[in-house]
A and B are shown apart, each in its own frame.
Chain A
Amino acid sequence: MDAANYLYLSALLFTIGAVGVVVRRNAIVVFMCIELMLNAANLSFVTFSRINGDLNGQVVAFFTMVVAACEVVVGLAIIVTIYRSRRSASVDDASLLRR
């Protein structure tokens, strides 16, 4: 099977994630879309690893997963805190940094 197909899939997933981040308001959904983008990137890395026949891509994928895990921890904690204080998980409501 052509390895390029994986890359198309990766691009598709990334685009879906990106559109989701821009379009959706719910913080949890936005968050999931970001995860989707990260994993799309991971898919690309692994694919390139396969194409090039070395392990570099896979190693980077592992790094990305670790970063994503950290991000989930911190991000969810923030979302939960915001939800607690303002009873809403909409990202548009949390625009306090503007001023």
Chain B
Amino acid sequence: MMMNSTSIVYLIALPLAGAVILLLAGRRSDKWGHLLATALCASSFFVGLYQLSLMFNRPSQERPVSQKLFEWISVGTFKIDAGLLLDQLSICFVLLITGVGTLIHIYSISYMAHDPHRRRFFAFLNLFIAAMLLLVLGDSYLNLYVGWEGVGLASYLLIGFWNEKPAYATASKKAFVMNRIGDMGLSFAIMIAFATMGTVSFIGVQAAVEQTSTPVLTGIGIMLLVAAIGKSAQFPLQAWLGDAMAGPTPVSALIHAATMVTAGVYLITRSNFIFDAAPTAQLLVVIVGAITLMFGALIGTAKDDIKKALAASTMSQIGYMILCAGLGPVGYAFAIMHLLTHGFFKAGMFLGAGSVMHGMNDEVNMRKYGALRKAMPITFVTFGLGYLAILGIPPFAGFYSKDMIIETAFNAGGSKGIILGIVTLLGAGITAFYMTRVMILTFTGTPRWDEKAQPHESPWLMWLPMAVLAIGSATSGYLLSSNDSLVKWLSPLFESHEEHHELLPPIIVSALALVMVAIGVAIAFLKYSRREIDAVAPKNVSIFTRIAREDLMQDRLNEAVFMRPGQELTKTLVKTDAVIIDGAVRAVGRLTIATGLSLRRVQNGFVRSYAAFILMGALAMIVAIWVVVQ
């Protein structure tokens, strides 16, 4: 029996209250709204720390706690409580969300200082934090679903925060709709689970897995994967993430790098009991992760927009996590570890990008940067630490987490292991290439600034969070992996490790990875550091570059396969409705009128013709009666 707690709800209630107060109070809260929101997010973080300390003091089997708030939906056997579950996995997320969230709140105070709607921005941020916490704290798939769509809503609102620009409004709509396709997968998973297991709570489903046939589990697993694909911008639903960069940069850092897009990894890890019992679904997870990993990395090499390059990188890094989570019990903990370290270094780099944009009149094109190292030293250092971390240079965070993933991939066994190992290694090399490209274009070389640009370092409210995240990028990997602390912490949640078949010893894997990284860095140096960089992206590039610039044609594909036919279908149906269905209705009406009109001719107004008709009618009746009587 799980222990009860009465204080989990405050984690969600605090930021939710912030969102409600700020939205209802309207302009009256313009002066203090951002402070309140930041304070509430921070207090939620401290509640999280308090919960963590409580958890530490309990033996590992008693660590999960739950809280039942009220009965939410109850019809027949479909009983869903508004219940929360805080265990070793969710506490990791709680601290990441509220911790990074608080830092980004602080950063945004300064970043959004000149925006007239800053209060609304903070309301949405708080709304996002609340929804994301609900996502990771819900004790059933349906509660998770509420948070799942809640973060989708917050993401929609924040991407479209400057929706007076039509392109931004379209980007937000695109994100919401593509996310909804994923949400549909989650609905299917819940429906299948209820129809076959009679429950949708995590504990109930876990207990029912043993009595459930494999095809059903595979079905649920695939549907959960669809959900994860939508939310985590995985292939083939990844096209929204690049456009989502329309949102203010802190949003990109928080939602589209550190937290929301990793929800898919959470979902798969949380559903480990289903995936462990459904190897086909698991294999699909791995394939999706591997494809996206390469996809994102390739797109990253061709982007000139600093935020879009980072977004492509996010896609690719989440591909790593999904791949790792698909490798079964050995992989879950490493996926989460990479998720946490990625949360630090990617959020830090996005904030760095925001800081650069802040100093450069909101210019995002890296071809117009250059030599910002001197103008923005703090940004350079913090961004650089993130860069070292994502590359996987020891002893920075990425070294620990990414190496583990590559190692796990190699050890997956058989040809699968070799393929995955090579893919992850290649990915690491390409990552090194495009990240080095970003560094070189932005911070080194000669200035290619616009005349009006006057680069300057950001105020302390902005660089402080960056510094904190940079420290995290540097140290989190070591802290999480020393003594296997994270793996041990999470291990009670997952099935015990299978026997370990090692294809390559860890030291070789690390060495291989470092070699790949070195190659990537070297190519980038040769290509970008040795010669002048064009201020405008060159047109006469190879077909591959052009395809990569177009996000590997995914938008074109979606447009050709779904959007255009969809629009045609809509137009056709609108016409059909008017012409055929309503046409039939109107035809009946017209027929009635036409009959009336033709019969009206009999009413000619001449009394004598009426009399003649009456007479003929009477005669006809007499004849009729006579015939009948005869």
Contacts and interface: CB of A to CB of B under 8 A. Distances in A.
Nearest to B612: A22
Interface in B580-630: 603-608, 611-612, 615
Interface residues of B, number: 9
Contact of B605 (A25, A30, A98): A98
Given A18-B615, A22-B615, A97 B608 contact: no
B607 A96 contact: no
Name the residue among B603, B606, B607, B612 with the largest chain A CB count within 10 angstroms.
B607
A66 interface: no
B617 to A, nearest CB: 12
B538 to A, nearest CB: 81
A17 to B, nearest CB: 10
B72 to A, nearest CB: 68
Contacts of A95: 604-607
B328 to A, nearest CB: 88
A25 to B, nearest CB: 8
Interface in A58-99: 91-92, 94-99
Interface residues of A, number: 14
A21 B608 contact: yes
A94 B612 CA distance: 17
Nearest to A19: B615
B24 to A, nearest CB: 65
A39 B206 CA distance: 101
B603 A22 contact: no
Contacts of B603: 98
B608 A96 contact: no
Contact of A30 (B604, B607, B612, B615): B607
User: Which of B604, B611, B612 has the most chain A CB atoms closer than 10 A to its own CB?
Assistant: B611
Contact of A92 (B608, B611, B612, B615): B608
A91 B615 CA distance: 18
A26 B426 CA distance: 111
B604 A98 contact: yes
A97 B606 CA distance: 9
A96 B605 contact: yes
A22 B264 CA distance: 92
B605 A22 contact: no
Contacts of A25: 608
Nearest to A99: B605
A26 to B, nearest CB: 11
A96 B605 CA distance: 7
Contacts of A99: 605
Contacts of A96: 605
Nearest to A15: B615
Contacts of A92: 606-608
Contact of A94 (B604, B607, B611): B607
A31 to B, nearest CB: 11
Contacts of B608: 21-23, 25, 30, 91-92
B403 to A, nearest CB: 96
B611 A21 contact: yes
Interface string A14-56: 0000100111010000100000000000000000000000000
A91 B607 contact: yes
Nearest to A22: B612
Contacts of B612: 22
Contacts of B604: 95, 98
B205 to A, nearest CB: 77
A53 B202 CA distance: 100
A47 B593 CA distance: 49
24 contacts: A18-B611, A21-B608, A21-B611, A22-B608, A22-B615, A23-B608, A25-B608, A30-B607, A30-B608, A91-B606, A91-B607, A91-B608, A92-B606, A92-B607, A92-B608, A94-B607, A95-B605, A95-B606, A95-B607, A97-B605, A98-B603, A98-B604, A98-B605, A99-B605
Given A91-B607, A96-B605, 15 more contacts: A21-B608, A22-B608, A22-B615, A25-B608, A30-B607, A91-B606, A91-B608, A92-B606, A92-B607, A92-B608, A95-B605, A95-B607, A98-B604, A98-B605, A99-B605
